[in-house]
Amino acid sequence: MPRPKNSRTVHEPPLFVEFKPTGIAGKNLEQRFLTLDEFEAVRLADSKGMTHEEASLEMDISRSTFSRLIDRARNIIATFLIRGQLLTIDGGNIHFKNNIIRCLDCGHMFKTSIDIPLSKCPGCSSTALENLAGGFGHGVCCTDRIHTQTKKGGQNAKR
């Protein structure tokens, strides 16, 4: 039996979760999935230019695990681009550090720590808010994890 995977830390939820070639209905495309931790690996290594060591510390995983993760993510993205598939970002054993909240009335988007609940938009005071981390089923679990790590002596205390 394989050992259970440790959860990975993801900075914040993605703004967009589906990508496809233009002019073709998504229902006619083969679907590929990129997990949230694979998305985060691409963001850290390819968008932010971090080394594997820096990115692995950011995600609370080993360098070798990060290397496998980024290789798998790049393969999925290359296959999506070459074959013209529908790419969906979802899943993975993760916890968010931060959240993005979108006001459904004025469209204002703002970043906040995952453990700071917000009940109204700072721009228009609307209570019609979309919690992007909540859309992935996250919130309380991530907040509990942050508080547990703080009590143990910091984010990377388990190393």
Of 66-70, 113-117, 128-132, 151-155, minimum mean pLDDT range = 151-155
29 and 2 assigned to the same domain: yes
Round to whole Å and give the CA distance between 86 and 32.
6
Q: How far apart are CA 9 and CA 61, in angstroms?
A: 8
Residue 159 covered by a domain: no
Evaluate whether residue 2 is within a structural domain: yes
Residue 87 and residue 102 in one domain: no
Give the CATH number of the domain where residue 127 resides.
2.20.28
Domain boundary among 42, 61, 93: 93
Say yes or no to pLDDT of 110 above 50: yes
Burial class (CB in 10 A: 0-12, 13-18, 19+), 32: middle
Alpha helices in the chain (DSSP H): 36-42, 52-59, 63-83, 140-152
Structural domain range at position 22 = 1-93
Torsion of CA 156, 98, 8, 62, to 10 degrees: -40
Percent of the chain, pLDDT > 70? 83
Q: Are residues 32 and 82 in the same domain?
A: yes
Identify the DSSP state of 93: S
**What's the mean pLDDT in 124-149?**
73
Q: How many CB atoms lie within 10 A of CB 38?
A: 24
**Domain finish residue from 93, 123, 142:** 93
- Verify that 5 and 60 share a domain, yes or no: yes
